[in-house]
Amino acid sequence: MLATIETYLPSSAEKVWEALLRRDTFLYVTSGMLGFRGRERWPDVFHQGMEIETRLVFWHLIPGWKHTLRIVWVDKESKELVSEESGGPVQKWNHGIRLEREAAQKCNYITSDMPHIIVRGELLERDDRWLHFRADVRGPEGLRLARSKATHWIIDDSQD
């Protein structure tokens, strides 16, 4: 199954693109649930052909499995990034991210013509060390399958 995730960001595509390629952005976004062993040895900026082998640490406490992240393709002109990930119970976990310029920025995970679900997420608010999100999950025909809310705890806000 494939998932399409759309997020609207109140920023220019150029600023979002620069942030998307940075190690510190990746670590910030994943910080609520995941830690990574050896992250200090990762390059500051992700680039095509880069491969990272790490061990996941769930909630920064529980050691997980070995995990590999490989950046397959980076295209600055079309603002697209494609990665392949593997490790643990998920044999293959691939991502494609494309930024589209609109009145508000729209970030789409790239999918093919295969049947897929669409997840549209929205940041509702940030207060102190918490981010509050809302998401709708829809099938290919647009029928809503689920609605959820999530709260993400910011472990390290030194990136502000």
Domains of the chain, start order = 2-153 (3.30.530)
Residue type, 62: I
Residue 52: per-residue pLDDT: 96
* CA dist list (Å): 106 to 9, 19, 78, 86, 109: 6, 15, 13, 27, 10
Residue 138: per-residue pLDDT: 72
The count of other CB atoms within 10 Å of the CB of residue 37 is 15
Residue 2: per-residue pLDDT: 57
Residue 4: per-residue pLDDT: 65
Alpha helices for 10-159 (secondary structure H)? 13-20, 23-30
79, 17 Cβ separation under 8 angstroms: yes
Q: How far apart are CA 119 and CA 49, in angstroms?
A: 28
- What does pLDDT average to in each consecutive run of 10 residues of the chain (160 residues)? 64 82 89 90 96 92 92 90 85 78 50 51 71 71 72 54
Residue 53: per-residue pLDDT: 96
Residue/partner pairs of 59-66 with CB below 8 Å, 24 or more apart: 59/33, 59/34, 59/35, 60/34, 60/35, 60/155, 64/88, 65/89
Residue 72: per-residue pLDDT: 93
Strand, coil or helix: what is 15? helix
